[in-house]
Amino acid sequence: MSRGAAAADLRDARVLVTGAAGGIGAASCRLLARARAHVTGADLDAALVAPSCDERVALDVTDDAMVARVVGGVGPLDGLVLSHGVTSLGPAVDTPMAAVDRVLAVNLRGAIAVTQAALPGLLERGGRIVVLSSVSGFAPLVHRTAYAASKHGIHGYFDSLRAELVGTGVSVTIVAPSFVATGIEQRATYRASGPAGEWSTAGEVLGADDVAAALVDGMARRRALVLPSRTARAAYVLSRVSPRGYARTMRRRVLGDG
């Protein structure tokens, strides 16, 4: 089945996308709209949500009452795309706990809160859950310890949820790209001064449109795990075959060690 044919399976699907004001979230909204899904885009400021959405709503994923109100207002969903996220940049020893708390609250707890609010409707309609993770969700990433912790938590929760939902008709897809040019670093909850706070990468840098295309395709095909680049696929294999080797390679590419 071609990617276009797979996306056609989302026609008329009612989908909620978080983090829809930019980056991968906004790109996913555009592709879902092109697939003729009915898209509700959500972000902190509704006015900034992608104009391709049929509906645009304000949503703070850390506010449980707001989550319940927004998800309840959208109604039963055929699809949920969790693409919101924040990061912190710098050595763990210097990162304030307030920054750690914010990263975990938004990336992990926020994703869980929206999912649990939407789950009854998704179960009713045999829907699809898609959550944006990262290579750092299954492998280490220096100077992004809080971010990596949140993404490891994403894998723990959503892999477990997938196992729990077997036989219900609800699919759970985790998308784990390598570095993506979304501007998330500019919105970091904490950024160290000097080189430790600079954005350095390991391997190719993807565009938001590339990741969104893989995300929507994986959603349509109900895939368990989407690794949308050669770097992500190589990281997945190496981190399992040789964890020490992966750590050395990652440190060398990100920090310039060795």
For 106-131, write each residue's pLDDT tens digit.
999 999 999 999 999 999 999 999 99
Predicted local distance difference test score (pLDDT) of residue 153: 98
Predicted local distance difference test score (pLDDT) of residue 158: 98
Predicted local distance difference test score (pLDDT) of residue 1: 47
| Catalytic status, residue 147 | yes
Quote the tokens at residue 156. 């723990």
Q: Which CATH class is domain 3-255?
A: alpha beta
| Span 217-247, pLDDT tens digits | 999 999 999 999 998 998 899 889 988 888 8
Find, among 64, 24, 25, the residue nearest to 43 by Cα.
25
Under the banding of pLDDT at 50, 70 and 90, the label for residue 198 is low
**pTM attached to this predicted model:** 0.91
| Span 13-50, pLDDT tens digits | 999 999 999 999 999 999 999 999 999 999 999 999 99
Mean pLDDT of 134-144: 91
Instruction: State the catalytic residue, choosing from 147, 157, 190, 236.
Output: 147
Whether the predicted pLDDT of 156 surpasses 60? yes
Predicted local distance difference test score (pLDDT) of residue 192: 83
